[in-house]
Amino acid sequence: MNYSEQTVIRAFQIYAKLARDGVASKETVQQYRSDDEIRGLLDAFSREVDCVVVGTSEQLFLVPETKLSPFHVSNDWIKRNYLRSGATNGDIYLLYFSTIILFGSFYDSYQSQEPTRQFLRIDEWVRFIGDRIEQLKMHDEEKLKQLEKEFSYNWSLIIEKWEDMDDIKETAKKQSGNTISRLSFIDTVKRFLVDQELIQEIGNDEITLTEKAKTIIQRYFMEVEYNKGIFEFIYGFEREEAYAGNQ
């Protein structure tokens, strides 16, 4: 397809803005949706760096689609910028697990298109993670190893990390040197997600999803092609119990 020089320059200007800031304004949303040529060029530019363009009603975002993307946030980068010194892959696994639980808490089904709650309290988030950990512990060690291969998540290490954290002193003003509380870990996860513009703090220890998060969840987390059934696995117990209860 032949594009005019003006169209190519405009599309590249938007892409450059996305590449630099990760986000572009409402004006670009309108151009992206209304102009097939600009949308086609932007999508092509993004594919070259293993990204996709995701739009809300107010903003466009450049979102890495694979680990090969130069815009992908690496585990080492997360460790350096958010986790305490000496953090391991177990901390990263637990951060990702906590994020999945957070996202799932806003929806009544892993295939929902719209959130069914407006906000979540931090202590509820911690409790929901604990509930899911207990569900994981219902599997024997051999089953967990099988599930680790299936989902590429080290479930045993996630359980171990969570249980090693101190929940006896959650309300203590001062934590001992080598002990991290579950609340303090979740505060770190929260800070990471706020910085990634996926959640927003609304006061009273409450958080809500951003439009960026809702769009990404609908496009990727709710699609089995991308999530590899992880939502269905994590929340499957509830559906099985609900089904059994209706017999």
What is the predicted pLDDT for the residue at 222? 65
Strand partners for 138: none
Instruction: Judge residue 132's burial from the number of C-beta atoms within 10 Å of its C-beta, 0-12 exposed, 13-18 middle, 19 or more buried.
Output: buried
Q: Name the most confidently modeled range: 32-41, 137-146, 165-174.
A: 32-41
Alpha-helical (H) ranges within 71-207 are 75-81, 89-105, 122-136, 141-151, 155-164, 182-195
pLDDT: which is higher, 138 or 202: 202
In the numeric block, which tokens belong to residue 193?
A: 């997600």
In the numeric block, which tokens belong to residue 232?
A: 């269905």
Q: Is the pLDDT of residue 47 over 70?
A: yes
What is the predicted pLDDT for the residue at 165? 87
What is the predicted pLDDT for the residue at 223? 62
- The values of phi and psi at residue 55, to 5°, are -120, 140
Across the chain, mean pLDDT equals 82
- pLDDT (average), residues 143-154: 78
pTM (2 d.p.): 0.80
Q: What is the pLDDT of residues 181-236, one digit of tens each?
A: 899 999 999 999 999 999 999 998 999 999 999 988 887 766 655 555 676 777 66
Q: What is the pLDDT of residues 67-98, one digit of tens each?
A: 778 878 888 889 999 998 788 889 999 999 99
What is the predicted pLDDT for the residue at 65? 82
Confidence category of residue 162, pLDDT binned at 50, 70, 90: very high
What is the predicted pLDDT for the residue at 229? 66
